[in-house]
Amino acid sequence: MNHTVSHSLFQTAKTLMPGGVNSPVRAFSAVGTNPVFIREGHGPLLTDVDNNQYLDYVLSWGPMILGHADPDVVAALEGVIGKGTSFGAPTEAENKLAALMIESVPSLERVRMVNSGTEAVMTALRLARGYTKRSKIVKFNGNYHGHSDALLVKAGSGVLTHGIPGSPGVPEGVVQYTLTADFNDEEMISQLFSQEGNDIAAVIVEPVAGNMGVVPMTDSFAQLLRRLTTAHGSLLIFDEVMTGFRLAYGGAQTLYNITPDLSCYSKIIGGGLPVGAFGGKSEIMQHLAPEGTVYQAGTLSGNPLAMAAGYATLKKLQTHPEYYQQLDQKATALAQGLQEAAQRHGVKVTVNQVGSMLSLFFTDQPVTDFETAVSSDTAQFGQFFRAMLDQGIYLPASQFETWFLSVLHTDDHIQQTLQAAEKALKQL
């Protein structure tokens, strides 16, 4: 493929923005090449500025479950954009999306709209501390909850991709109340609660981690977290920024049959526009200002465009429950095909898949936590990524990110991807 225009744009971008990008993984530095600049997307396909076309498994890192430029979402945006893009005042659109979310997720009684997943998590933790009057929180190694200071401790996502254990600029005092434990390690979290339980305000967890690659919680670990937090008066917070409305209409919590105290959202609930939200029990949420004393505010929170796109997306998913079964079937076929192709060529891989999320790890051991995820051969993944890109398959540019499917990925697209993978794996 010719990437002349993309290359030129990237050279210019590097003079304008740190690393030439506005989010680190986009730089493609972890996979040994330069990024392609996207011009447009339709359905499951992207076209770059050099007129190359790609089958997209990034989907804006998860939000585009209906594919790019879904006609219902576009129509919803066209219906509101001419009336004004932001008012900093209440609108009916906020009511509609909040009501639909509360109707759809059993654990939600009240919702607060914000502007990003990072903001949703940051505020949910502040609320948990204000509600419990405790300071300590627990997060799990390899779980990524956004880039707020207190959570850049043994995180996944770009922090893991770029080998950064934390981040300069985060004072030690900020993270002194952040406790970490190994994901899916029942003994460690039990010991932590026995030692610190009365001081723990909340445990935050990705029910299916997606930022060290796809790594699901075990059922027993999920049940243990619910028991421990309840017994010690701590809150259980599910970070469903990635999994919410993707793995099931009610999110991952419905798959695990767990009722968290608070849940955090972004991605799909904005239909591709910047958005975030968190919610939970009224008893807890009423502590937020202006009803309570825990402060949070945002000029663009609940803006009409994000609310319209999000409502159109969730309503379409609600109207078509069959989408989730179709997504699961296609992702399962892709995961099995990748595993079989690797075996044929003697390449050691593990494929983790939950619903329409999957990861191809270049390791021969099961990936169940941070330690096993980082055992993957990142150089081999880089080779695979470049070979797939050359064949028009657009994958996340990191071993530790998630592949996503949209409802518009067809069986033919899956076969196209597997044929490309066959050639790519043969080259390793």
Whichever domain contains 275, its CATH number is 3.40.640.10
Q: Are residues 216 and 305 in the same domain?
A: yes
Residues 137 and 32 occupy one common structural domain: no
pLDDT at 174: 64
Answer yes or no: 267 catalytic. Answer: yes
CA distance 114 to 364: 41
Instruction: Give the pairing of strands 276-280 and 262-265.
Output: antiparallel
Domain end, chosen from 319, 350, 384, is at: 319
Nearest to 310 by CA among 368, 258, 271: 271
Examine the domain organization and report whether 48 and 190 are in the same domain. no
**Residues 144, 256, 311, 324: which is the catalytic one?**
144
One domain for residues 300 and 262: yes
Residue from 48, 70, 185, 239 carrying the catalytic annotation: 239
Same domain? 315 vs 416: no
Could you tell me the CATH number of the domain that includes residue 358? 3.90.1150.10
- Report which of residues 42 and 170 the model is more confident about: 42
Pick from 276, 238, 243, 234: which is nearest to 111 by CA?
276
Helix or strand holding residue 202 (H, E): strand 200-205
Sorting pLDDT into bands at 50, 70 and 90, what band is 416? very high
Read off the pLDDT of residues 107-161 as tens digits, 9 standing for 90 and up: 999 999 999 999 999 999 999 999 999 999 999 999 988 876 566 655 444 433 3
239 assigned to active site:
yes
Q: Based on the fold, state whether residues 101 and 196 are members of the same structural domain.
A: yes
pLDDT at residue 147 in the model: 73
Please give the order of strands across the beta sheet that includes 357-361.
Answer: 350-354, 357-361, 403-404
182 assigned to active site = no
Q: Reply yes or no on whether the pLDDT at 167 is more than 60.
A: no
Of 267, 311, 316, 369, the active-site residue reads 267
197-237 pLDDT, tens digit each: 999 999 999 999 999 999 999 999 999 999 999 999 999 99
Answer yes or no: do 240 and 339 share one domain. Answer: no
On whether the CB atoms of residues 166 and 153 are closer than 8 A, the answer is yes
Residue range(s) defining the domain that contains residue 8? 4-69+321-426
Domain count, the chain: 2
The predicted structure's pLDDT at residue 163: 36
Rounded percentage of the chain residues whose pLDDT exceeds 90:
91
Q: Are 360 and 21 in contact (CB under 8 A)?
A: no
Q: Which among 141, 315, 126 has a CA at the least distance from the CA of 211?
A: 141
pLDDT at residue 169, rounded to an integer:
63
Q: How far apart are CA 206 and CA 212, in angstroms?
A: 11
Model pLDDT, residue 149: 59
Look at residues 273, 301, 319 and tell me which one is the last residue of a structural domain: 319
39 with 80, same domain: the answer is: no
- Do residues 188 and 326 both lie within one domain? no
Residues 90 and 142 in one domain: yes
User: What's the rounded mean pLDDT across residues 185-206?
Assistant: 95
Q: What gap in Å lies between CA 184 and CA 8, rounded to an integer?
A: 45
Predicted local distance difference test score (pLDDT) of residue 155? 45
Judge if 415 and 299 occupy the same domain: no
For tokens 């502040």, the residue is: 126
| Of the residues 301, 319, 337, the one at which a domain ends | 319
Residues 87 and 174 in one domain: yes
